[in-house]
Amino acid sequence: MTEREFNQLADAALARIETAVDGCGGDVECNRSGNVLEVEFDNGQKIIINRHDVNQEIWVAAKSGGFHFAWQAGVWHSRRDHSELFGKLLELFAEQGVRLPLA
């Protein structure tokens, strides 16, 4: 995959996540700085999501661990546990008692 293709796919994923987090309401705050989304919950817990250009991955860091997602067969898959990016985010948000409205 070219760098441009990766950037387009990763940026689309980050935008989708940011829109979904904004739809969560007051329980969650999302700040974006370049390639990094920082999601903070009312209890102070954070999830950091970023585009890692060198490895062509989306990285997610949460209290329960770190995950690296690579584009494979049209889906962002974790190299660690074979989960899918958006499914993993639903799980991580549920751990915080927040429903992430991913469309």
| pLDDT tens-digit readout, 69-88 | 999 999 999 988 889 999 99
User: For residue 36, what are the β-bridge partners?
Assistant: 33, 50
Q: What class, spelled out in words, does domain 3-95 have in CATH?
A: alpha beta
CA-to-CA dists, residue 99 to 13, 31, 38, 42, 57, angstroms:
18, 18, 17, 14, 25
Banded model confidence at residue 103, pLDDT cuts 50, 70, 90: low
List helix spans (H) across 35-84.
Answer: none
Q: Where in the chain are the domains?
A: 3-95
pTM of the entire predicted model: 0.92
| pLDDT tens-digit readout, 31-82 | 999 999 999 999 999 999 999 999 999 999 999 899 999 999 999 999 888 8
- Specify the amino acid at residue 19: T
